[in-house]
């Protein structure tokens, strides 16, 4: 399974907010922001902080990609 936060970056653009502004307002660390930028896993607490800030649901900021299915394997 892979994670993509592309939806988050698009939402930030739509709201006119930078990644740094989001980080500061959501009170998340620079390390966590770097993990988001690399599509790495972060805690549910972090995702909920971002969702609260952006007034959205988790599905609005991330996708879980089944690598096996996307590669045609089962």
What integer is the mean pLDDT of 42-53?
Answer: 97
Q: Read off the pLDDT band of 69 (50, 70, 90).
A: low
The pLDDT score that the predictor gives to residue 72 is 55
- Burial (CB < 10 A; 0-12, 13-18, 19+), residue 43, is exposed
Whole-Å CA distances, 57 to 21, 41, 71: 19, 17, 28
Structure tokens at 3: 């994670």
Distance of CA 70 to the CA centre of its chain: 20
Full-model pTM: 0.86
| 3-17 average pLDDT score | 97
pLDDT > 50? residue 74: no
Residue 25 has pLDDT above 90, yes or no: yes
């Amino acid at each position: 399974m892979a994670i993509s936060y592309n939806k988050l970056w698009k939402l930030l653009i739509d709201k006119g907010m930078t990644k740094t502004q989001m980080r500061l307002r959501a009170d998340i660390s620079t390390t966590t922001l770097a993990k988001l930028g690399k599509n790495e896993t972060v805690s549910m607490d972090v995702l909920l902080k971002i969702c609260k800030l952006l007034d959205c649901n988790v599905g609005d900021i991330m996708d879980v990609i089944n690598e096996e299915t996307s590669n045609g394997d089962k």
